[in-house]
Chain A
Amino acid sequence: MSTADRRRLLGPIDASPLYSDITPKVHSSVGEAGKSDKEVRKVFIKTGLVSNASGSSYIEASNIIVEVSVFGPRPIRGSFTDRASFSVECKFLPYLKQPQEDLFRGDTHANNNGRQGLTEVEHKISQYVETAFLPCIILEKYPKSTIDVFITVISTGNTTAPSSILNLTNWIVNCSSLALIDSGIEIKDIVTSGHIKYLQSEQRLIVDPLENEEREDALDCLVSFESLKNDEIVGLWIDGNQKLLTEELLSKFIKECSSMSEKIRANFNNYLLKLCEN
């Protein structure tokens, strides 16, 4: 233990962060009493709440609450680059339980003297969002600069089920899209995404599932699209326990995700048009 930091007052070695099961109260207008398998849940969206960011957006989708701020283009110091660098950082508020927390928030994070780096789950979401938005932002327009996206997950409904990460990421991507639009950074298209869950035993396909408890036969599929560019897929993530992934199933999944993404896109278009009118 000679390498221990003796200059600061450290907590006990086995200290663990304080968590609670308190879920922030969600507006009754967006909470809903069940929806059919084919429906997309109702969401509350708002842009431009963070005044010192270039663009920001806020979304409430039943018990998922996410806030995204976009900073940039900001100049960088040092050598010239011909395109902007783009980075995404996703963070859960510290009291939240994270999806797959038992797997990825093990001993390595127990003694970190209060300040935590990102967990693997947060890194994974950051990477998905970065991958999905990289093709759509016109980085060539902003040489020698950086564009940073900061995602704050405010509520997840405190579920740790592995598949809830896909549903959460779905709403994060949609929310980030709005924040990028709000920032005025030049983009080729609005990225929207859809998430479906397929229960093999019942052959039941659920669009935008509200309940994400772990099931042995569930397969989750999250796909993000650029609908102006011929419905190109910019993000793909299939996860789950199902072993029989056939081509027909996959193309059905992508189709369902696409139609969900289109619905969200239409809503966003409406919202943005209304914003222009006011």
Chain B
Amino acid sequence: MILSPAERSYLYDSLAKDELIRPDARADYQFRPIEVKTSFLPSSNGSARVRLTDGSEIITSIKSKVVLAAEEKSLIECDIDIPGFRDDSNFVANLKYNMTSLLNKSFPFESLKLTSKYAFKLFIDCVVISYSSFPLTFISIACYLALKSTKLPKLISDVNDEETAEQPLFSDDWENAQYLGDLNDSKSFNPPLIIVIGVVGKNLLFDPSAEEEQVLENGIIISWYNNDISTPIHNLNFSVHSNMPNYKGLSQQMIMKSILMARKHCANIVKALDQAIEEQTDDGVIF
């Protein structure tokens, strides 16, 4: 919904107050409630769906392929599809750039290694079925959940195939498949996340809604990986319609503040997502 100038000014004032008041009574660090479902696509290695109360819906599917590691430029390929936008539009291309560069920088690639020659390559396909606010956070959440629920077949052939020309052999039994996270036994597996933060006056808002986006003065994107701030970090105009009359530069303090805020709250976001995966009912029903 496009706000009128009067509505915009009202919303701006309430968001810019010292004690900010958001239209849906959220605290500045709070996300909108999301509904999560994982592992529901039978033909994918991993899948996740994220739904919001405003009808936004994102489905991510992960498929894997055995490749010769030396011939691949990257072991992860991420594609984003948004109905109504061409794949080469600026909007989609930038979302794809952000996700691809995030995953390629912050991912435990050693867990994809099968043998000395072969590795799994992951194809992550993200469909944004509907959205109202800038969808990057929820795309990254859907990728997080899908990666967490990704199961790969168990290798039964020899790991060391440097001398032999043998191709990897997998167990026939799908029950033996391992979670991607269990393949890397050394540490816990936490895929990277991207947090979208809106700037209004001296306040920062996690996960701005479509209405809040219209009064933002700037936007900051921060990545989170392995319990710490990660790269890329950048600023962005979230509005797709480039109709942000309040849009202006950032002060250095706001950037520092956003980093501090992300450091403080992102661990809880990750915890909440992990909990959501555990708590979902395992009935295979998605509607």
- Contacts from A to B (Cβ < 8 Å): 83, 85-86, 100, 102-104, 106, 108, 117-121, 123-124, 126-128, 130-131, 134-135, 162, 219, 225-226, 229-245, 247, 250-251, 254
Contacts and interface: CB of A to CB of B under 8 A. Distances in A.
Contacts of B233: 236-239, 245
B229 interface: yes
A231 B245 CA distance: 20
B255 interface: yes
B235 A131 contact: yes
12 contacts: A103-B104, A127-B236, A130-B237, A135-B248, A230-B251, A233-B250, A236-B220, A237-B232, A237-B235, A238-B231, A239-B231, A244-B228
B237 A123 contact: no
Given A120-B93, A135-B249, A241-B105, A236 B234 contact: yes
A123 B90 CA distance: 6
A239 B94 contact: no
Contact of B101 (A131, A239, A245): A239
A114 B42 CA distance: 39
Contacts of A126: 90
Interface string B266-278: 0000000000000
B213 to A, nearest CB: 14
A247 B254 CA distance: 12
Given A126-B90, A247-B259, A106 B251 contact: no
A250 B255 contact: yes
B272 to A, nearest CB: 23
Contacts of A128: 234
Given A120-B97, A250-B255, A250-B259, 12 more contacts: A85-B242, A118-B88, A118-B90, A120-B96, A123-B90, A127-B90, A232-B249, A232-B251, A233-B255, A238-B233, A243-B228, A250-B256
A121 B97 contact: yes
A226 B90 contact: no
Interface string B121-154: 0000000000000000000000000000000000
Interface of B: 73-74, 77, 87-88, 90, 93-94, 96-97, 100-101, 104-105, 220, 225-226, 228-237, 242, 244-245, 247-252, 255-256, 259-260
B156 to A, nearest CB: 31
Q: Interface SS of chain B: helix, strand, loop or mixed?
A: mixed
Please indicate which of the listed interface residues A117, A240, A241, A243 has the most CB atoms of chain B within 10 Å of its own CB: A243
Contacts of B87: 108
Nearest to A101: B73
Contact of B245 (A83, A86, A250): A83
B97 A124 contact: yes
A123 B234 contact: no
Contacts, number: 118
A12 B252 CA distance: 52
A234 B250 contact: yes
Contacts of A124: 93-94, 97
A237 B77 contact: no
B100 A104 contact: yes
Contacts of B220: 236
Contacts of B249: 135, 225-226, 229, 232-234
Given A83-B245, A86-B242, A240 B255 contact: no
B97 A219 contact: no
A244 B228 CA distance: 8
Contacts of A230: 251
A162 B101 CA distance: 9
A103 B74 contact: yes
Contacts of A104: 97, 100
Please indicate which of the listed interface residues B229, B231, B237 has the most CB atoms of chain A within 10 Å of its own CB: B231
A236 B235 contact: yes
Contacts of A247: 256, 259-260
B27 to A, nearest CB: 23
A243 B248 contact: no
Please indicate which of the listed interface residues A100, A121, A236, A244 has the most CB atoms of chain B within 10 Å of its own CB: A236
B40 to A, nearest CB: 27
Contacts of A236: 220, 233-235, 250, 255
Given A230-B251, A234-B249, A238-B232, A117 B88 contact: yes
Nearest to B100: A103
A251 B252 contact: yes
Contacts of B235: 131, 233-237
B64 to A, nearest CB: 17
Contacts of A135: 247-249
Contacts of A162: 101
A120 B73 contact: no
A112 to B, nearest CB: 10
A103 B100 CA distance: 8
Nearest to B93: A123
A108 B245 CA distance: 36
